[in-house]
Amino acid sequence: MRKITLSEYNAIPENYRGIWTVERWDLPDWAELRKKHIGKRTMMVYDKGTCLLVEGIGFEIVDDSGWKKPDEIRKDIDMLYQEFCNMRKCKPHYADCIIRWQDTLDTLETRIALSMDSDTEWDEEIFYYCNSRNELKSLTEKGCSDFVIADCFGFGMYEKPMQEI
């Protein structure tokens, strides 16, 4: 079943989404099917041809109204980064984040490396490698990756000295 956020659903032009209100008594088992269709949200999609999907059958809507917006997450990243640099007098090795998978919309707490080489003793702790804070912030928007950063709650450093960043 396809998952879509409420804001993505609402962004679909009204001609391609709606609420099922049409009775289909011409269908032999409509009385049984009726409760699965009447009052459900619908959307037209192109998937190897034009299809009508019905909520609960072909797609699920996930309410994203309480989720942080990308701008807010980027501001948090900048603030937390500056706090870390001011307090520790050095740049962090990683950011602790929550990511959201774009296909399932599930979340996962992860560690994203900043300007750090891969193939180190910390590889198993690292989910993703970035080359800069700006690259980290770019992950808050939908793009080429399978996930987006849904929240950032801190930066850190590995205790063993690493080469200067």
pLDDT digits (tens, 9 = 90+) for 1-20: 899 999 999 999 999 999 99
Quote the number of domains for the chain. Answer: 2
In a shared domain, residues 33 and 96: no
161 part of a folded domain = no
Mean pLDDT calculated for residue range 120-136: 86
In a domain, 162, yes or no: no
Range of the domain at 10: 2-62
Kindly report the pTM of this predicted structure: 0.78
Q: Is residue 142 part of a domain?
A: yes
* pLDDT at position 165: 42
Gyration radius (Cα) of the chain, Å: 22
Residue 123 has a CB neighbour count (10 Å cut-off) of: 12
Same domain, 7 and 79: no
50 shares a domain with 93: no
Residues 149 and 131 in one domain: yes
Contacts of 111-118 spanning 24+ positions with Cβ under 8 A: 112/136, 112/139, 112/149, 114/155, 114/165, 115/91, 115/165, 116/162, 116/165, 117/163
Co-location of 37 and 96 in the same domain: no
